[in-house]
Amino acid sequence: MANLKVFQRRNSWGSVLNVFCRSFGAGLLATLLMTGSQAKAWNSTDMTGVLPSLDFTMTRASDGKTVTSADFKGKVVLLYFGYTSCPDVCPTTLLDSSTMLKALGKKADDVRVLFVTVDPGRDTLPVLKSYTAAFAPQVVGLRGTPDQLAALAKRYRVAYSVQPGSKGNPPEVTHGSAVYVFDRTGAIRLLFTGLAEPNAKLTGMTADLQQLVSQSGQVSLWQWIENAI
């Protein structure tokens, strides 16, 4: 059975490459494959092909509208999970993200920072709207149902928890601190880490954002092959 699956997989690749060669020519295919195999000089962690493309349905805090990942196609997206009562990590991460956006100048409009609350019980839409308004205008607050939040977190392997408070103590909330970066097509490209640290390496991450913003929104060869199989 395992051998049959391997054969089917190879046969699928063969069919895809055969169609590509007939459509575009073997010479072009070879050139694109060689180009695609060359690693980009990123300053951040390269996540290309490691995680799935951006996909979600949530409510936008600024206007109460239901939005999906399709609403952000054509933009470079930074996805971050946190909560408005976070004492330090979340505001520092969003402030550093805002600093990077400012460095992009007019190109900042090609970027969106999606701040997904992991504490929807306390982070109502008005609370989330007021909180995100304190940062760059490209920061978008998103609130999902428990199922929507769980699905998105699972998709990108994000751990979070909200423990109810007791005896006058507030709830205890934990969440990951990484920022997931997607290109204009919605494909995962990078992982930003350390944004909440005092000496965050903003110069390198800003350069990565500039590189992604400069790229077109065309689907890469590797994405084309992946979708075709």
Is 228 part of a structural domain of the chain? no
What is the count of structural domains for the chain? Answer: 2
Same domain, 157 and 105: yes
Reported as a single tens digit per residue, the pLDDT across 10-33 is 454 445 445 444 544 544 444 444
The per-residue pLDDT for 37 is: 41
Same domain, 8 and 67: no
> For residues 126 and 104, what is the distance between their CA atoms, to the nearest angstrom?
29
Same domain, 16 and 61: no
Same domain, 154 and 126: yes
The DSSP string of 145-156 is -HHHHHHHHHHT
- Neighbouring C-beta atoms of residue 229, cutoff 10 Å: 10
Is 32 part of a structural domain of the chain? yes
Is 23 part of a structural domain of the chain? yes
Task: Evaluate if residue 60 carries a pLDDT over 80.
Answer: yes
Same domain, 121 and 12: no
Same domain, 34 and 114: no
Is 71 part of a structural domain of the chain? yes
The per-residue pLDDT for 30 is: 45
78 phi and psi angles, rounded to 5 deg: -105, 120
Collect all residues with Cβ–Cβ distance below 8 Å to 55 and sequence separation of at least 6: 68, 69, 155, 186
- What is the identity of the amino acid at 108? A
Is 97 part of a structural domain of the chain? yes
Percent of the chain scoring above 90 in pLDDT:
67
Same domain, 163 and 108: yes
Same domain, 64 and 34: no
The per-residue pLDDT for 36 is: 44
Average pLDDT over residues 35-46: 69
Same domain, 114 and 24: no
Question: What domain range is 25 assigned to?
Answer: 2-38
What separation, in Å, do the N-terminal and C-terminal C-alpha atoms of the chain show?
20
Q: Which two tokens stand for residue 152?
A: 């998105």
Is 226 part of a structural domain of the chain? no
Quick check: 110 and 99 in contact, CB under 8 A? no
Same domain, 61 and 33: no
- Better-predicted residue by pLDDT, 87 or 164: 87
The per-residue pLDDT for 141 is: 98
Same domain, 18 and 90: no
Reported as a single tens digit per residue, the pLDDT across 61-79 is 999 999 999 999 999 999 9
CA within 13 Å, CB half, 181? 24
Q: H or E segment at 23? A: helix 2-24
Instruction: For the chain, give the mean pLDDT.
Output: 83
Which pairing describes strands 45-46 and 172-175: parallel, antiparallel, or unpaired? unpaired
In which band, very low, low, confident or very high, does the pLDDT at 168 lie, cut at 50, 70 and 90? confident
Question: CATH code at 91?
Answer: 3.40.30.10
The per-residue pLDDT for 143 is: 98
Is 229 part of a structural domain of the chain? no
* Nearest CA among 146, 86, 147, 144 for reference residue 116: 144
In which band, very low, low, confident or very high, does the pLDDT at 39 lie, cut at 50, 70 and 90? very low
Residue 47: strand, helix, or coil: coil
Collect all residues with Cβ–Cβ distance below 8 Å to 162 and sequence separation of at least 6: 118, 119, 121, 171, 172, 173
Reported as a single tens digit per residue, the pLDDT across 79-136 is 999 999 999 999 999 999 999 999 999 999 999 999 999 999 999 999 999 999 999 9
Is 85 part of a structural domain of the chain? yes
CA–centroid distance for 165 within its chain: 31
Collect all residues with Cβ–Cβ distance below 8 Å to 228 and sequence separation of at least 6: 16, 19
- Better-predicted residue by pLDDT, 59 or 224: 59
Percent of the chain scoring above 70 in pLDDT:
76
The per-residue pLDDT for 46 is: 95
Same domain, 109 and 22: no
The per-residue pLDDT for 83 is: 95
